[in-house]
Amino acid sequence: MQLEQILKNRRQEKDILLMTHIVLGYPSFEVNRQVIRQMVENGVDCIEMQIPFSEPMADGPVILKANQDSIAAGTTIADCLAFGAEMAATYDIPFLFMTYYNIVFKYGEEQFLQKTREIGIKGLIIPDLPPEMGEDFFRLAEISEIAPVLIFAPTSTDERMAELNRWAKGLIYCVARRGVTGKKSELGDDFNHYLARCRKATDLPLAVGFGIQNRADVMALVGKADMAVIGSQTIRLVEEQGPDAVGPFIAGLR
C-alpha cells in the first residue's frame, strides 16, 4: 500500500498522527533501534530516518551536530540502507528516508530508488531538490512507487504550492516557520492562516514540523493538519536523559 493511503487509513482512527525523526547512526545504530522501538510502542505513525550528510542546510544545530557526529563515527549509506530494511521488516508503520540530493546523486538516482523500494521504504524527503531541478528523479520515483515528499513554507505563494502539489506524493511537509529545524515555533493567527492555505492547495495529508516540541504544540494542530512532526526534541532527550526517556515523552504527546 502506498504512503498516502496508509496515512489516510491511520488518520481515520486518530485526531492527529505523529511522525518522528532520527539521524541514522547517531549516537549509534543500537540506540536508533532502542529509540524506534519505543516510538512505535508508544503510538508513532511514521518515522523519518535521516541519512547523514555533512552540510544539512535545512537543519538546525541539534540535527546538524547529529549528522556530523554520525559521519565522524563512520556511518555509510550502505549501513543506513541495511538499517532501513531491518526497521521496515520489523515494524508495521511507514518509514521514510530524509537526506540531501548529493547523497542520492552519488549513489545513482535509479539505483537509490530501486534499493529504497526493495527494502520497503515508503517515501523520500530531499529538501534541496525542487521539481524544476529533478523532473527525471520525480518521474522515476513515481515508477518506483516511492513517494517524493515536498515542502510548503510560510513564504510559499499559492501558485508555488499548486506547482509543488503537482509533483508531490504521500504527504506534504509544512514547515511551521522560516529558518531551520529545532527552534520553538509560534502557532498563532498567521500560522493558522498559512495552514489554511496549505489545506486548500492539496488533498494530500499535511504534516507540520519545525519547532513542534510538546503536547500543546501537537494539540494546536488538531483539526488543522493530519500529522505533527517531532525531530530535534527527541534527539535532545536522548542526549540529556538517554534513549529510555523517548517512550514516556512520545506517550505524553497525545
* Dist CA 254 CA 45 (whole Å): 12
Give dist(CA 157, CA 16) in Å, integer.
26
Q: Catalytic: which of 48, 92, 109, 158? A: 48
Identify residue 23 by its one-letter amino acid code.
V
Catalytic residue among 4, 59, 217, 226: 59
Dump the DSSP string for 168-195: --S-EEEESSSS-TTSPPP-SHHHHHHH
Contact 208, 152 (CB under 8 A): no
Q: Are the C-beta atoms of residues 176 and 210 closer than 8 Å to each other? A: yes
| Count of all residues that appear for the chain in the document | 254
Cβ-based neighbours of 192, under 8 Å, separated by 6 or more: 224
Q: Cell numbers 518509514 label which residue?
A: 95
Catalytic-residue membership of 190? no
Grid cell for residue 166? 503537482
Query: Cα separation of 233 and 43, whole Å?
Result: 17
Kindly state the cell numbers that stand for 129: 531538490
Of the chain, the end-to-end C-alpha distance in Å amounts to 26
Longest dimension (CA), the chain: 45
The answer to whether 48 is a known catalytic residue is yes
Catalytically active residues are 48, 59
